[in-house]
Amino acid sequence: MRIGIGYDIHPFVAGRPLILGGVEIPFERGLDGHSDADVLTHAVIDALLGAAGEGDIGHHFGASDPQYRGVRSLRLLEESWRRVKARGFRVGNVDATVVAEAPPLAPHLKGMAANLARALEMEEARINIKPTTAKGLGPLGSGEGIACLTVVLLTEAGGDGA
């Protein structure tokens, strides 16, 4: 078994859609970034690559590379998974904490898990997404952006861990 951790944070900006786990969530602002700024999916990618010892998202998908401007981050997750899968791994489970003062994320968790499960070719039941807030503290608490922490467990394909 191998474990990886991922962390990401993006600031809110006006005039962009809010995408989390590939789900477009109705809100007056979206996250700023070179891609679709899907902070949850970025943290999952970093945890996945970290577990496999494959570096990080910036190493594979450069933040200044024009081919990734506005790209759907789920596509980057699919590409990352192809790379990790080719190494003989499968995903044991994914656990994520999304720190967002607003909007409420609970109605969208199932859709996010379904998208991530599809990209990672795994059961949705092995993906857990926990929304929380920063309790008003600091930039996250004043609603300036969203942060996400994720862990991914990988097992050897054919092993008894998955």
* C-beta separation of 4 from 154 below 8 A: yes
Q: Which member of 42, 84, 108, 127 binds Mg ion (CB under 5 A)?
A: 42
Q: Which member of 8, 36, 46, 101 binds Mg ion (CB under 5 A)?
A: 8
Which among 96, 107, 74, 84 has a CA at the least distance from the CA of 8?
96
Nearest approach, Cβ of residue 59 and Mg ion (Å): 13
Number of residues that bind Mg ion (CB under 5 A): 2
**Site membership for Mg ion, residue 108 (CB under 5 A):** no
Instruction: Pick the stretch among 1-9, 59-67, 113-121, 154-162 that binds Mg ion (CB under 5 A).
Output: 1-9
Nearest approach, Cβ of residue 55 and Mg ion (Å): 15
**Site membership for Mg ion, residue 46 (CB under 5 A):** no
Cβ neighbour number for residue 65 with a 10 Å cutoff: 12
Inter-helix orientation angle 39-52/109-120, to 10°:
40
Which among 90, 98, 96 has a CA at the least distance from the CA of 153?
90
Residues that bind Mg ion (CB under 5 A): 8, 42
